Amino acid sequence: MEPAEARATEPVIRLENVSKLYRGVPAVKNVSFELRRGEIHALLGENGAGKSTLTKIIAGVVEASSGRMIHNGVEAAYANPNAALQAGIAMVFQETSLVPSMTVAQNLYLGSEKFLNRLRGIYISAQQFLQSLNFSVDPTAMVETLGAAKKQMVEIARAVHHNAEVIIFDEPTATLTPEEKRHFFALVRRLKARGVSIVFISHALEEALLLSDRITILRDGELVATGETASFDREKIIAAMVGRTLSAELYRQRDEAKIRKAGRKVLSVQDISMGAAVRNNSFSVFEGQITGVFGLIGSGRTETFKIVSGIYKRDFLRGGSIELDDRPVRYVVPREAVKDGIVYVTEDRKSEGFFETMSIAENLFGGLLAADREQHRIISHAEMHELSREWSKQLNIRAINDNARVVELSGGNQQKVVIGKGLVQKPRIVIFDEPTRGVDVGAIAEIHQIINRLADEGLAVVVISSYLPEILNLSDRILVCRQGRIVEEFSPTEATEGKIMYAAVH
């Protein structure tokens, strides 16, 4: 067969049975994927479905554990993003990879400078190049002064400048305004017209339906559906995204009689904002029940509750109020929130949850000291060990002894330590952010038990999760967060995975 002929029919990229394991945990399982020449291919799926990993394998950012990639009919594996770029595959990341203190032109030519580099020369050629793409970006502008959309244009221009025939966009529209989005779509279509193949990761189904030629849907690292965009509609996509086979036992539907009634309203949030992450958000939290909060990445759910617990400061000038027991509160540091009984259990336990070089006992005791419930001027080490014994038993934290360092424990035990560190503070409102992330199945069940017990004891409990079965299994009330605000509320009896996902995507 003639090479030219082969090029025309052969897809640009073909993945055959590609898998990727992170420390034994599969992120991508046996995926076979085809990217045709000059198509726009949307890649959809929940958080953690494996979209980013799959594209990172193509772009040489991560190495596949097994399987092979065929690029233009030749088997290829790129060791790093630069090698992939030289071969014509460019990836535009969520966080841009531009050098902020350099000009647009310098960024365009980064890595391909001549030995003697004349700034004026590259400004002129950059100007011509940007004009040929119809991009209105000033090549002499410093990248840090540009908005998100223009930065993206520069990234794209850089990809095109390297003659990329495949460009991968990871959540390109998440940070764009509607106006910028329109520009972006026009741009992607122009790239397509130039024969560039595009992979487009998104949470926004409408965008995918509008823009793409074909759609592939991943779930739990597996490819569940792929086909022409015309053969999909919103319902079909959502069904494919959430349809679940796994863990039906662990995550069974709630028994209607067991749904807890709302107690007294303890927390009332009105109209709070913080930058672009939280926009005029309003909701309430009640005692004696679990309020589940679902949202995709970038929906502002974590930021919202970090504001409530005093970790972040909201934009006070933009108004709004937070009321605890009908009393307005304005926390500047977490200490004030902790004293008022609000505890936030972080989603990132290693960097902001536990004290890694310290023992379980010291970690738990740290929570007690910080809360200052009893006046502990003088420390009793006997009391510390007593506290540790009691809580290790209550939360079933397993370690050789309570002097074991927390960093040596398993993910599940670490998470229990972080939870325990919060619970010794005797909170009234506990906010769990992704309480079972990176935790083994046995510990998940135990942590769910702990959470349920707290609500039964009358505490106001909030569970933030991007895992739908967890939300459905735990919540007595479900809030859905999208673009920085709570947009919908469901009762667990009416909620289904499909309905929640429908509300969460935009």
Partner 1 sequence: MVAKGRLFGPGAFNQERIVLATAIAIFAVASFALPGFFTAENIVTIVRSVSVLGILSLGMAVVIIGRGIDLSMVAIMAMSVAAYLQLLANGMSDGAALALVLAGVIGIGLLNGFLVAYAEVPALFVTLASASFIFGYVRSQVIGADAVPVPRAHWVASLGSVQFLDIPIEVFIFAALALAMFLFLRFTKWGRFVYYAGDNPVAARNAGMPARPMLVLRYVISAMFAFIAGILTAASLHSMNTRVVNSTLLYDIVLVAVIGGIGLSGGKGGVRNVLIGAALTGVLLNAMTIIDIPLIYQNLIKSTILLAAIIFDGLINPRDEQTAQQGDI
Is 137 within 8 Å of 98 (Cβ atoms)?
no
Answer for which of 353, 412, 469, 492 binds partner 1 (CB under 8 A) is: 353
DSSP 47-95: TTSSHHHHHHHHTTSS--SEEEEEETTEEE--SSHHHHHHTTEEEE-SS
Burial label for 116, CB within 10 Å (0-12, 13-18, 19+), is exposed
Answer for which of 14, 50, 188, 217 binds partner 1 (CB under 8 A) is: 50
The smaller minimum CB distance to partner 1, of residues 39 and 220, is found at: 220
d(CA 65, CA 19): 6
CA 484 to chain CA centroid, Å, is: 14
Backbone angles phi and psi of 492, in degrees to 5? -60, -20
The smaller minimum CB distance to partner 1, of residues 72 and 415, is found at: 415
Structure tokens at 456: 């039964």
The smaller minimum CB distance to partner 1, of residues 254 and 428, is found at: 428
Answer for which of 378, 382, 393, 494 binds partner 1 (CB under 8 A) is: 378
The smaller minimum CB distance to partner 1, of residues 249 and 374, is found at: 374
In this chain, which stretch among 251-259, 270-278, 419-427, 457-465 interacts with partner 1, using CB under 8 A? 419-427
In this chain, which stretch among 44-52, 172-180, 232-240, 283-291 interacts with partner 1, using CB under 8 A? 44-52
Answer for which of 358, 389, 458, 487 binds partner 1 (CB under 8 A) is: 358
Q: Which residues of 145-157 are buried (b: 16+ CB within 10 A; e: fewer)?
A: ebebbbbbbbbbb
Answer for which of 31, 41, 53, 412 binds partner 1 (CB under 8 A) is: 53
Q: How far is the CB of 336 from partner 1 (least distance, A)?
A: 8
The smaller minimum CB distance to partner 1, of residues 348 and 456, is found at: 348
Structure tokens at 424: 């010794």
> Does 425 contact partner 1 by CB under 8 A?
yes
> Does 246 contact partner 1 by CB under 8 A?
no
In this chain, which stretch among 5-13, 33-41, 43-51, 126-134 interacts with partner 1, using CB under 8 A? 43-51
Quick one: CA dihedral 36, 41, 46, 47, positive or negative?
positive
DSSP state of 123: H
d(CA 150, CA 144): 10
In this chain, which stretch among 105-113, 233-241, 322-330, 374-382 interacts with partner 1, using CB under 8 A? 374-382
> Does 311 contact partner 1 by CB under 8 A?
yes
Question: Could you give the 3-state DSSP secondary structure of residue 193?
Answer: helix
The smaller minimum CB distance to partner 1, of residues 51 and 477, is found at: 51
Q: How far is the CB of 342 from partner 1 (least distance, A)?
A: 10
Count of positions (residues) in the chain: 506
- With tokens 């035990």, the residue in question is 413
In this chain, which stretch among 48-56, 182-190, 271-279, 474-482 interacts with partner 1, using CB under 8 A? 48-56
d(CA 220, CA 45): 9
Binding site for partner 1 (CB under 8 A): 22-23, 27, 48-50, 52-53, 56, 62, 221, 309, 311, 333-335, 337-339, 344, 346, 351-359, 362, 365-367, 369-372, 376-379, 401, 403, 405, 407, 421-422, 425
